[in-house]
Amino acid sequence: MVLRIVPPCRNCGGGGWYRMPDPAGRGDTVRCEPCNPTPPPPPMTPAELRDNLRTIGWSQEALAARLGYRSGTQVERWVKGTAKMPEHYAAWLRGVAQQVAANPPPRS
Ligand SMILES: [Zn+2]
């Protein structure tokens, strides 16, 4: 007899155990990872974009220049919410903001 510590995936009954919170709050495994892959990060909202720029200390124009845009028009669309920031740019900007937030300058 095999002692199962973690119950099988409720979707496929298979292995490859992946612990995740049960929506009902019982805390047992609901689905294995192949049946319930990690969802992609949410899109960058205009508010989050502004927060990230404030954290880093970049203007919209500075971000545009970093991304190789010749003007700030596209960044302005993301800030206004009339266009969605591409996910690879969003992931990169989140990473930069986290780095800056985690590395304050030394006190004099
Ligand atoms: Zn499964």
Per-residue pLDDT of the chain (108 residues; tens, 9 = 90+): 445 456 677 788 876 554 555 455 554 556 777 777 777 778 899 999 999 999 999 999 999 999 999 999 999 999 999 999 999 999 999 999 999 999 999 988
**How many whole angstroms from 75 Cα to the centroid of ligand 1?**
41
Q: What pLDDT does residue 33 have? A: 73
Are 50 and 33 in a shared domain? no
Q: What pLDDT does residue 4 have? A: 46
Q: Is 11 contained in some domain?
A: yes
Are 52 and 98 in a shared domain? yes
**Number of folded domains that form the chain:** 2
- Residue from 50, 64, 61 nearest 97 by CA: 50
**How many whole angstroms from 17 Cα to the centroid of ligand 1?**
9
**How many whole angstroms from 13 Cα to the centroid of ligand 1?**
6
Are 50 and 96 in a shared domain? yes
Q: Is 70 contained in some domain?
A: yes
Q: Quote the domain boundaries for residue 27.
A: 7-37
Are 73 and 96 in a shared domain? yes
For residues 49 and 55, give the distance between their C-alpha atoms in angstroms, rounded to a whole number. 10
**How many whole angstroms from 1 Cα to the centroid of ligand 1?**
22
**How many whole angstroms from 4 Cα to the centroid of ligand 1?**
16
Are 96 and 64 in a shared domain? yes
Q: What pLDDT does residue 23 have? A: 53
